[in-house]
Amino acid sequence: MREYKIAAIPADGIGPEVIEAGRAVLSALSERRGDLRFTFTQFDWGSDWYKKHGKMMPDDGLDQLRDFDAIYFGAVGAPDVPDHITLWGLRLPICQGFDQYANVRPTRIIPGITSPLRGVGVGDLDWVIVRENSEGEYSGHGGRAHRGLPEEVGTETAIFTRVGVTRIMRYAFKMAQSRPRKLLTVVTKSNAQRHGMVMWDEIAAEVSQEFPDVTWDKMLVDAMTVRMVKNPKSLDTIVATNLHADILSDLAGALSGSLGVAPTGNIDPERRFPSMFEPIHGSAFDITGKGIANPVATFWTAAQMLEHLGEASAAASLMRAVDRVCEEGILTPDVGGKATTREVTDAVVSAISGSN
């Protein structure tokens, strides 16, 4: 029996709804297989905690998380707390404190879910976006001066280091190498941003030498949006900076049918710290409490978590169950169905329980 200690941080809005669904599905998987078990410890950090304590998590939050095998995270964001506080108070300190420098965002068209792209179906769009997750535009460097005066300035400095770019590039080339097409697209804006972005291109060329079997090309980020929409089949693995990949992966999520199905893993490839798995979407307060949040992204990220833990066959059976339920048309309203979160979850649980 392999046992995994999982820290669950449901946090805000629909986060608790989808994490509860995810826990149910993981428990069903563990029961069905009998060879692995999850023990969950739930943390009530987030915006409610902030309203009581003036911070999103306790000062020793990272220490409390350090010894878990993985973190299963919902979403942050509340209508009455500024977004930069919720984001910088919980999610980013975990990503940065645990040096989860690779943010991995798979996208594909799930059977039964319709892409907004005409004529694009299952198999036509199957990507993994690798996002640099520790520096770049979200390094937190910058400042404000002369606040409120006409001459006020604000700066937001992007930081690119040789170490940071090399390690994400190596991770992305490895990811591309592990996939059947062995195809990597390196995204930058190295025409307009002529320092850090040119260094990206140079380091990509250097690292590519280590991966002679991977075919790679370069795209400017603006042209990349066009290629994703017009020629999705031409792409497979994609690597981009923190900001660029943040935007491109929202587009990828939308092209695959809904943000509600898009998962992400914040990975420490060196496994010094726990990695964190979460749906890409936010707290979605427009649908909070209605019981209609799509749990598929949270199921898919559970599969990413299983893969990271070395449980590839459990991950595959979870995704087979999700595919089967979606194909049967048991879908939440964001992907054109009428089912509730509970109904989708129950259907995935039965698909797992009835599988072999």
Which of the residues are catalytic? 138, 189, 222, 246, 250
Binding mask 279-298 for ligand NAI (x = CB under 6 A): --xxxx-xx-----xx--x-
Residues 6 or more apart in contact with residue 242 via CB below 8 angstroms? 103, 131, 132, 133, 134, 135, 136, 137, 138
Q: Which does 283 bind (CB under 5 to 8 A by kind): ligand NAI, Mg ion, none?
A: ligand NAI
Question: Applying CB under 5 A, which of residues 12, 69, 137, 246 lies at the interface with Mg ion?
Answer: 246
Angle in degrees, CA 73, 77, 80, rounded to 5: 150
Under rule CB under 6 A, residue 103 binds ligand NAI: no
Under rule CB under 6 A, residue 77 binds ligand NAI: yes
Under rule CB under 5 A, residue 236 binds Mg ion: no
Minimum CB separation of residue 234 from Mg ion in Å reads 24
Closest listed residue to residue 278, CA positions, set 295, 258, 255, 254: 295
CB 168 within 8 A of CB 102: yes
Q: Which does 246 bind (CB under 5 to 8 A by kind): ligand NAI, Mg ion, none?
A: Mg ion
Under rule CB under 6 A, residue 260 binds ligand NAI: yes
Tell me the window of 34-42, 157-165, 205-213, 239-247 that interacts with Mg ion (CB under 5 A): 239-247
Q: Which does 287 bind (CB under 5 to 8 A by kind): Mg ion, ligand NAI, none?
A: ligand NAI
Q: Which does 77 bind (CB under 5 to 8 A by kind): Mg ion, ligand NAI, none?
A: ligand NAI
CB 17 within 8 A of CB 51: no
51 exposure class (CB count in 10 Å sphere: 0-12, 13-18, 19+): exposed
Retrieve residue 300's tokens: 């898919």
Minimum CB separation of residue 37 from ligand NAI in Å reads 27
Minimum CB separation of residue 85 from ligand NAI in Å reads 10
Residues 6 or more apart in contact with residue 180 via CB below 8 angstroms? none
Minimum CB separation of residue 148 from ligand NAI in Å reads 25
Closest listed residue to residue 187, CA positions, set 123, 251, 142: 251
Retrieve residue 184's tokens: 């990597």
Under rule CB under 6 A, residue 83 binds ligand NAI: yes
Q: Strand pairing of 2-11 and 36-42? A: parallel
Q: Which does 282 bind (CB under 5 to 8 A by kind): Mg ion, ligand NAI, none?
A: ligand NAI
| Residue 323, CA atoms < 13 Å, CB-side half-sphere | 14
Q: Judged by CB, which is closer to ligand NAI: 10, or 196? A: 10
Tell me the window of 27-35, 76-84, 133-141, 184-192 that interacts with ligand NAI (CB under 6 A): 76-84
Phi–psi pair at 80, nearest 5 degrees: -110, 15
Residue 287 CB coordination number (10 Å): 19
CA distance 195 to 333: 45
Under rule CB under 6 A, residue 196 binds ligand NAI: no
Closest listed residue to residue 124, CA positions, set 132, 136, 134, 116: 116
Q: Which does 91 bind (CB under 5 to 8 A by kind): ligand NAI, Mg ion, none?
A: ligand NAI
Q: Which does 248 bind (CB under 5 to 8 A by kind): ligand NAI, Mg ion, none?
A: none
Under rule CB under 6 A, residue 23 binds ligand NAI: no
Phi–psi pair at 142, nearest 5 degrees: 145, -175
Q: Judged by CB, which is closer to Mg ion: 259, or 347? A: 259
CA distance 74 to 9: 6
Q: Strand pairing of 275-279 and 263-267? A: antiparallel
Binding to ligand NAI, residues 296-325 (CB under 6 A):
297
Under rule CB under 5 A, residue 132 binds Mg ion: no
List residues binding ligand NAI (CB under 6 A): 14, 75-77, 83, 91, 259-260, 281-284, 286-287, 293-294, 297, 332, 334
List residues binding Mg ion (CB under 5 A): 246
